């Protein structure tokens, strides 16, 4: 079914055991964030629902710094009704971020494993859970963001022996040898000395002409 910008997918798979019903819930992609409808699993006792989910986030933004998401995979989320107004859900996935090396600033692929197991009581949601739950919808991208951010490293190195950037010219020392940089700096200095000699001669000639 499709209603404007709202896209729904649903599938039913009834098991032979009538006491245990397995249903693939409806979900919708609202704008650029995936939101999962939880009304059925909250209201129907003993329901188990599986959602084939995906991450719509393309980057993690934190304190003015953006880390692009280079790899992300689809995954399954298993929901269960565990009591009146209570549900649990669990899933595992992994995202790979592009994070600059702390020394040379080259982008480094940094995988982050996300393993989530939660129980929610909708009669008494705490502040932490309320960040990704709104009107019985689970905002998956907000949840992924909340799980990834605490796992961001304080620094990342492209290699343990990364030499960083040249403090003089800013050249990446991992891509260009120190010897090559020294030769280049020597060549520049030699040309500058030649320029100074020419400048002095011109100044001397001007002074002689005045005399």
pLDDT confidence band for 165 (50 / 70 / 90): confident
Length of the chain: 211
209 by Cβ neighbours in 10 Å (0-12 / 13-18 / 19+) ranks as: exposed
Q: Which of 118, 115, 117 is nearest to 92 (CA)?
A: 115
Q: What pLDDT score does 147 carry? A: 93
Q: What confidence tier does 16 reach under pLDDT thresholds 50, 70, 90?
A: very low
What is the predicted pLDDT for the residue at 80? 95
- Among 131, 168, 164, which Cα is nearest to 146's? 131
Task: Tell me which residue of 64, 61, 156, 181 sits closest to 105, measured CA to CA.
Answer: 156
More confident residue, 50 or 192: 50
Residue 183: pLDDT band with limits 50, 70, 90: low
| pLDDT tens sequence across 132-144 | 998 889 999 999 9
CB 96 within 8 A of CB 112: yes
The rounded distance, in Å, linking the Cα atoms of 112 and 108 is 13
CB neighbour class for 167 (10 Å; exposed up to 12, middle 13-18, buried from 19): exposed
The residue with greater pLDDT, 14 or 40, is: 40
Q: Is the pLDDT of residue 19 over 60?
A: no
pLDDT tens digit sequence for 67-118: 999 999 999 999 999 999 999 999 999 999 999 999 999 999 999 999 999 9
Q: What are φ and ψ of residue 205, in 5° steps?
A: -65, -35
Torsion of CA 7, 136, 45, 16, to 10 degrees: 20
């Amino acid at each position: 079914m499709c209603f404007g910008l709202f896209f729904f997918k649903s599938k039913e798979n009834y098991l032979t055991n009538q006491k245990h019903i397995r249903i693939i819930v409806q979900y919708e992609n609202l704008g650029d964030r995936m939101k999962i409808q939880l009304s059925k699993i909250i209201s129907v006792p003993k329901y188990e629902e599986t959602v084939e989910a995906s991450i719509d986030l393309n980057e993690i933004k934190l304190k003015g710094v953006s880390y692009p998401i280079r790899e992300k995979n689809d995954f399954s989320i298993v929901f269960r009704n565990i009591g009146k107004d209570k549900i649990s859900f669990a899933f595992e996935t992994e995202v790979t971020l592009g994070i600059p090396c702390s020394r040379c600033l080259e982008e480094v692929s940094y995988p982050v494993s996300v393993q989530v197991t939660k129980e929610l009581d909708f009669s008494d949601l705490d502040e932490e859970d309320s960040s990704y739950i709104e009107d019985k919808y689970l905002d998956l991208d907000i949840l992924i963001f909340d799980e990834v951010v605490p796992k961001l490293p304080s620094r990342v190195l492209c290699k343990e022996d990364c030499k960083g950037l040249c403090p003089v010219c800013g050249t990446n020392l991992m891509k260009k040898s120190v010897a090559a940089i020294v030769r280049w700096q020597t060549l520049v200095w030699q040309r500058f000395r030649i320029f100074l000699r020419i400048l002095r001669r011109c100044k001397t000639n001007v002074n002689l002409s005045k005399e």
